[in-house]
Amino acid sequence: MKPLAITAGTVLSAIGQGLAATQDALQARRSGLTPCDFAGITTGYVGRVPQVENHTLEGVHPGFSCRNNQLADMACAQPDFLHAVADARQFYGPERVAVVLGTSTSGILSAEEAYRTSDPVTGFPPSTFDQSHTQDMFSLPRFVAARLGLEGPLLSVSNACASSSRAFVDARHWLEAGLCDAVVVGGADSLCRMTLRGFASLGLISDTPTRPCDVERSGISVGEGAGFALLEREGARPAAVPMARWVGYGVSSDGHHMSSPDPLARGAVAAMREALVRAGLEAEQIDYINLHGTGTVVNDAMEDHAVQSLFGSAVPCSSTKGWTGHTLGASGIIEAMFAIVMMRAGFVPGCLNVDRVDPTFKSQILTDTLNKPVRRVMSNAFGFGGTNCSLIFEAM
């Protein structure tokens, strides 16, 4: 495939706001996981972003105020990102900059609160509940477009935990079709009762901070966050200096089970293989693999099987969810920004919280920071229902 330039990017998670804070936390091996204290739920640990509740949206319709959009606003408020988008808007025209974002929760927390305060007689939610600007899956791209002054086409992608990774693919299709000249791509997902209690009901919440790839791993820690990247055709805007290039992708839908991965990893293997083919790369040309690595017994075993079947033990890999928790539909964009941070700074972080790597694993699992030049990173996202997406990023 013809590479696309990432000319700006921003990220927000439990370990910090912006690329510099993120790099500092990754290199210091400082986790953002804390005991869960969200909405009266005390099961396990969460990657909760501080001060979301106190963040005020400005310059947009007041109905957009919800936790998911507040996370998105905190992420895109980074000055470098705002300036880059403004420059692209001026160069191409606001109607030629699209917004393609992934989310699995949207503003569902607002609907939960509305349900809890609904009229006991009529069943109606309070008049202050604005469903279309909060819970609606289309709320996020509408909000971000309004926040950034963009008037191009909008798309919301909800592919479970692969949502914001898959958003890259749909953004590329729009650029190839000529529907736009640049795309703000990414996503956001926020803590809510449904996901915390839903994963708990499946027995997937770890009592301790998640420890992907550990022999004693026992589940996930749910996180939240947001991130955005500005995608453009290489060389289309002469003043733009790319941070990185997006050079390959692979997608698959194996449909093995609604909530359990295929133990033979056929969909994961297909996505990773397709990404290599599209990038025109051999397996040994990948410097690091950012695993989906949720910390559940079956997911980590499946992904190890997939990685070793294509890469053997030659390529270092790890999961970064020990820092952020599993940020669900936002994990793809957050970890894409992590990949860019790693390539620019020259390091890859080993898994956090791992005492002993599962001895049955055959891939090269890192448990400490490895300082080395990093030119190409593959980042995986595998979601419920067998939706799989692998992205390959390359340093400039």
pLDDT in tens, 53-110: 999 999 999 999 999 999 999 999 999 999 999 999 999 999 999 999 999 999 999 9
Q: What's the token pair of residue 323? A: 């820092």
Q: Helices marked H in 149-291 — which ranges? A: 163-177, 193-201, 266-279
Say how many CA atoms lie within 13 Å of 296 toward its Cβ: 21
Q: What's the token pair of residue 230? A: 């500005």
Sorting pLDDT into bands at 50, 70 and 90, what band is 240? very high
66 is catalytic: no
Q: Write down the catalytic residue from 66, 292, 317, 389.
A: 292
What is the rounded distance in angstroms from the CA atom of residue 372 to the CA atom of residue 375? Answer: 10
Tokens 């698959």, residue located: 252
Q: What mean pLDDT comes out for the span 188-209?
A: 96
User: DSSP readout, 376-393?
Assistant: EEEEEEEETTTEEEEEEE
CA 155, 325, 294: angle at the middle one, nearest 5? Answer: 85
Domains defined for the chain, CATH in brackets: 4-233 (3.40.47.10), 247-395 (3.40.47.10)
Q: Write down the catalytic residue from 76, 213, 326, 351.
A: 326
Tokens 């005390």, residue located: 42
- Nearest-CA neighbor of 210 among 44, 89, 36? 44
- Nearest-CA neighbor of 231 among 304, 172, 150? 172
DSSP 3-state of 212: coil
Helix pair 19-28, 331-345: axis angle to 10 deg? 80
Q: What is the pTM of this model?
A: 0.97
- Nearest-CA neighbor of 354 among 170, 210, 214? 214
Element (H, E) at 82: helix 79-92
Contact 343, 374 (CB under 8 A): yes
What is the rounded distance in angstroms from the CA atom of residue 42 to the CA atom of residue 364? Answer: 35
Contact 344, 178 (CB under 8 A): no
Tokens 């994961």, residue located: 268
What is the rounded distance in angstroms from the CA atom of residue 250 to the CA atom of residue 376? Answer: 15
Q: What is the pLDDT of residues 95-111, one digit of tens each?
A: 999 999 999 999 999 99
Q: Which amino acid is at 116?
A: R
Q: What's the token pair of residue 69? A: 């959009």
Q: What is the pLDDT of residues 124-137, one digit of tens each?
A: 999 999 999 999 99
Sorting pLDDT into bands at 50, 70 and 90, what band is 21? very high
% of the chain exceeding 70 in pLDDT: 99
What is the rounded distance in angstroms from the CA atom of residue 4 to the CA atom of residue 183? Answer: 11
Q: Write down the catalytic residue from 36, 66, 76, 161.
A: 161
Q: What is the pLDDT of residues 293-318, one digit of tens each?
A: 999 999 999 999 999 999 999 999 99
Tokens 């990173």, residue located: 377
326 is catalytic: yes
Contact 278, 238 (CB under 8 A): no
- Cβ within 8 Å of residue 211, ≥6 positions away: 217, 218, 295, 322, 351, 352, 353, 354, 355
254 pLDDT higher than 90: no
Pair type for strands 16-17 and 4-13: antiparallel
Give the pLDDT score at 384: 83
